[in-house]
Chains A and B, each alone.
Chain A
Amino acid sequence: MKLTSRFLIIPALLAGLQAASAADITGTVTLNGTPPPEQVNTHISNDPICGKLHSEPVKTQFFVVGPKGELKDVVVTLKGAPAKSGGESAAPALVDQTKCEYVPYVMAVQTGQKILVKNSDPVMHNVHPTPKVAGNKEENKAQMAGGADLTFSFANPEKFLKFQCNVHDWMFAYVTVVDSPYFAVTDKDGNFKIANVPAGKYTVEVAHRKAGATTKEVEVKDGGAKVDFTLDAPKPQ
Chain B
Amino acid sequence: MSRSVDNPWLNRFAWLTALATLVLLSVGGLVTSHGAGMSVPDWPTTYGYNMFFFPISKWVGGIFWEHIHRLVASGVGFLTVILAVWLWVKEPRARVRWWGVVAVFAVVLQGVLGGLRVVLYKDQIGIFHAGLAQIFLVLVCALALITSRWWRNLNLAFPPAPDPGLRSLLLIGTLLVFAQLVIGATMRHQHAGLAIPDFPLAYHKVWPPMDATSVAAYNQNRNDEGANPITAFQIGLQMVHRLMAVLILGAVTFSAWASRRRLGPRNPLSRLALAWLGLIFVQVLLGAFTIWSNKAADVATAHMVVGALSLVTGAMLTIISFRVLIPVRAAGLAAAEPSHPGLGTSKPASSGAK
Contacts and interface: CB of A to CB of B under 8 A. Distances in A.
A206 to B, nearest CB: 15
- Interface SS, A side: loop
A128 B62 contact: no
A166 B218 CA distance: 25
Interface residues of A, number: 32
A168 B36 CA distance: 8
Given A235-B217, A237-B217, A237-B218, A140 B223 contact: no
Contact of A237 (B39, B203, B226): B203
B160 interface: no
B121 A167 contact: no
- How many chain B residues sit at the interface, stated as a range, is 20 to 34
Nearest to B41: A140
Contact of B36 (A39, A47, A123, A166): A166
Nearest to B33: A169
Nearest to B34: A169
A169 B41 contact: no
A128 B215 CA distance: 26
A141 B118 CA distance: 11
B164 to A, nearest CB: 50
Nearest to A41: B225
B285 to A, nearest CB: 25
A138 B58 CA distance: 25
Nearest to B118: A140
A39 B221 contact: no
A17 to B, nearest CB: 44
Nearest to B197: A237
Contacts of A47: 61
A212 B229 CA distance: 13
A138 B203 contact: no
B38 interface: yes
Nearest to B121: A138
A169 B204 contact: no
B63 interface: yes
Interface string A23-52: 000000000000010010100000101100
Interface string B202-238: 0110000000000011101101011010000000000
Given A126-B40, A237-B217, 10 more contacts: A62-B223, A126-B38, A166-B38, A166-B62, A166-B66, A167-B36, A167-B61, A169-B62, A170-B226, A237-B221
12 contacts: A128-B41, A140-B121, A142-B40, A164-B226, A167-B39, A167-B60, A168-B61, A169-B62, A170-B225, A234-B220, A236-B221, A237-B221
